[in-house]
Amino acid sequence: MHPMLTIAVRAARKAGNLIAKNYETPDAVEASQKGSNDFVTNVDKEAERLIIEIIRKSYPQHTIVAEESGELAGTEQDVQWVIDPLDGTSNFIKRLPHFSVSIAVRVKGRTEVAVVYDPMRNELFTAVRGQGAQLNGYRLRGSNARDLDGTILATGFPFKLKQHATPYINIVAKLFTQCADFRRTGSAALDLAYVAAGRVDGFFEIGLKPWDFAAGELIARESGSLVCDFTGGHNHLTSGNIVAGNPRVVKAMLATMRDELSEALKR
């Protein structure tokens, strides 16, 4: 196993165990609002602390970019660990058992290692660039859908960016006439992992943060899926506007979405 993957898996499992334990004892969970429609709990913070502690023991010189702590610069800036300690905080607060730990390692701007761990199902999605994607050690291949007919598409509402509500709803409406159904799970990291596993055929979302999709993107790509922005380019790393699925599904999604994109969503 790639040495950084070993550490990422160890950190994800330790954080996941903490999250699962607190899920069973909801009275110990303290939630607060950190922004518009944006929540954090003491469990997010403690899980992040555990992850950082494990990374720092093995790689004290690496830079860490974490949802709650921000950027923790190291002497080796070319290597970045991108962490979301609890992707799906709102689900966790509401005791809806669908959330994950997301850890990615980027080297010179390119994601090399990825882990998405679902502690409630004990599902560990992993990828190393060029070596494929796995779920609990078994190789993943994405959907083989040839077009949108009969597909299940995952998405997430732009609840922090409601200025995009109208184009988003229009995009959903157009896609809905061509696909079979939609899923909105509340964890972008798991949505991308599910694309990799073929559990959903495609995914799109507006305005994600790097820690939301850094790991899931590599896992999806290593399963044979395509990941891009809303115009088919690679600006999703900056804009957070992301589409994923096999190349045929993505092509069909982009063609359907094109006429509904505002200028802001074309960037």
Q: Would you say 67 is a known binding-site residue?
A: yes
Q: Would you say 46 is a known binding-site residue?
A: no
Cβ pair 213, 245 in contact under 8 A: no
Q: Would you say 87 is a known binding-site residue?
A: yes
DSSP for 141-169 reads -----SSSTT-EEEEE--TT-GGGHHHHH
Cβ pair 105, 129 in contact under 8 A: no
Cβ pair 199, 225 in contact under 8 A: no
Calpha distance 245→131 (Å, rounded)? 19
Give SS3 for 41.
strand
Q: Would you say 147 is a known binding-site residue?
A: no
Kindly list the distances between the CA atom of residue 224 and the CA atoms of 55, 128, 197, 227, in Å, as whole numbers in the listed order: 29, 13, 10, 10
Q: Would you say 175 is a known binding-site residue?
A: no
Question: Residue positions in the annotated binding site for Mg(2+)?
Answer: 67, 84, 86-87, 212
Question: Residue positions in the annotated binding site?
Answer: 67, 84, 86-87, 212
